[in-house]
Structure 1
Amino acid sequence: MPTLHLQSAKIERDRFRGETITNGKFLNCDFSGADLTDTQFIGCFFYDEATQLGCSFNRAVLKDASFKSCDLSMADFRNTQALGLEIRESKVQGADFRGANFMNMISARTYFCSAFIIKSNLSYANFSKVVLEKCELWENRWNGANVLGASFLGSDLSGGEFNHFDWRSATFNHCNLTGAELGELDIRLVDLEGVQLDSQQIVGLIDRLGIILVNDA
């Protein structure tokens, strides 16, 4: 099957639902409102370097969709239905996730989230007010990401890179942060209740406070 290459195309709602697309190129394409439930994209490009524009997935259904080794830089994921979305080993710099819904509502007050965003570059992505609780979010680069009002309660953020990152702007209680580069995290200003840290991280955080940790062995 020849490699799929589309440019400035409007994607019909059910065109790729449940399909597996490998090494495709989608330049300046409009996936808004498309149903991509169970669709797999492997090694695909959604970013046009010439115009520096990403694709629009605004209001798309991304339930259990998967992007592996893809370039999703500058993509518009606003208002997507994204329960179970997988993004793995991909470029996602500057992508906009505002309004993306990773939740399954069981009742008016009960819900759970599901997302697998792993080993990806999320630098300068916008997660403002997004709820990603108890999700698999490890080994990502979060440098400069906007997480104002977001909730990562109980998620696995281990091995991440958090430079130029405002820890005060989101909720991180009960997260796994072991092995992460914590940037300018100030334990005096951020609620770290239930957060998992390793001993090397703790030494670094205490050192910033001017406290000398003495080995009493």
Structure 2
Amino acid sequence: MGLALQGEKIARNRFTGEKIENGSFMLCDFSGADLTGTEFIGCQFYDRDSRQGGNFSRAILKDASFKSCDLSMADFRHANALGIEIRECRAQGADFRGTSFMNMITSRTWFCSAYITKSNLSYANFAKVVLEKCELWENRWHGAQVLGASFSGSDLSGGEFSGFDWRAADVTQCDLSNAELGELDLRTTDLQGVKMDSHQAAQLLERLGIAIIG
């Protein structure tokens, strides 16, 4: 059995750089903790009884990794998450407002780094989050809140976008190939530089009453 903690406030350096498999962290408070390079594999952070997730607010999650974890309802607000990996996780309702995936080089030059793939992001909150040129493929985005978010240049391929407000976020230069595009409307969404396959393009044009021949 993995480590099992309940209702604990996690000391700042307790898990820095550690590898933790099959752990259970019910109602644990990781706020402000330094989890630089920490790996969580198959860990549970969501408490079903209280319907509360792990608290990672203001944590340092630089190069931290979550694989096959339950991050439902997790609070990532104002965390430093440059280089974070979230792969094959449940993250429904997770709150990423104010999370930084950005490395500022100067006041005007910066880059983002994040790998969020094959995860359930339904109803997660990405309002005003900047996740540009990142790996964000094969995620489920149903009902995610993305008002003011920028995904420009990111790989969103293979995603499921039912119940997704395309007008609310910047998706220019994104790869949308093989994605289920939900209610995407060519008339109201800026698709400059977007990549999609011919089947998707034909579907979008058909919605405008344009028949594709050949």
Query: TM-score band, normalised by the shorter chain?
Result: over 0.9
Mapping 1:119-134, distance limit 5 Å: 119-134=118-133
Secondary structure, in 3 states, of the residue corresponding to 2:203? helix
Provide the residue aligned with 2:177 in structure 1: 178
Provide the residue aligned with 1:151 in structure 2: 150
TM-score (norm. length: structure 2): 0.99
Secondary structure, in 3 states, of the residue corresponding to 1:112? strand
Provide the residue aligned with 2:167 in structure 1: 168
Provide the residue aligned with 1:105 in structure 2: 104
Report the Cα offset of residue 213 of structure 1: 1.1
1:87 aligns with 2:86: yes
Structure 1's consecutive aligned runs of 4 or more residues displaced over 3 angstroms after TM superposition are: none
Provide the residue aligned with 1:40 in structure 2: 39
Report the Cα offset of residue 172 of structure 1: 0.5
Deviation sequence 1:63-110 (CA, Å, 0-9, x none) = 000000000000000000000000000000000000000000011100
Which amino acid is the alignment partner of residue 62 of structure 1?
L
Secondary structure, in 3 states, of the residue corresponding to 1:116? strand
Provide the residue aligned with 2:24 in structure 1: 25
May I ask how many residue pairs the two structures share in their alignment? 214
Provide the residue aligned with 1:194 in structure 2: 193
Deviation sequence 1:132-168 (CA, Å, 0-9, x none) = 0000000000000000000001000000000000000
Which amino acid is the alignment partner of residue 145 of structure 2?
N
User: Aligned partners of 2:211 and 2:17: how far apart in 1?
Assistant: 56
Deviation sequence 1:13-48 (CA, Å, 0-9, x none) = 000000000000000110000000000000000001
TM-score (norm. length: structure 1): 0.98
Which amino acid is the alignment partner of residue 161 of structure 1?
E
Secondary structure, in 3 states, of the residue corresponding to 1:54? coil
User: Aligned partners of 2:102 and 2:56: how far apart in 1?
Assistant: 18
Secondary structure, in 3 states, of the residue corresponding to 2:100? coil
Listed as ranges, the gaps of 5+ residues in structure 1 are none
Which amino acid is the alignment partner of residue 98 of structure 2?
G
Report the Cα offset of residue 130 of structure 1: 0.3
Provide the residue aligned with 1:77 in structure 2: 76
Which amino acid is the alignment partner of residue 206 of structure 1?
L
User: Aligned partners of 2:177 and 2:185: how far apart in 1?
Assistant: 16
User: Aligned partners of 2:50 and 2:79: how far apart in 1?
Assistant: 24
Report the Cα offset of residue 62 of structure 1: 0.1
Secondary structure, in 3 states, of the residue corresponding to 2:128? coil
Report the Cα offset of residue 210 of structure 1: 1.1
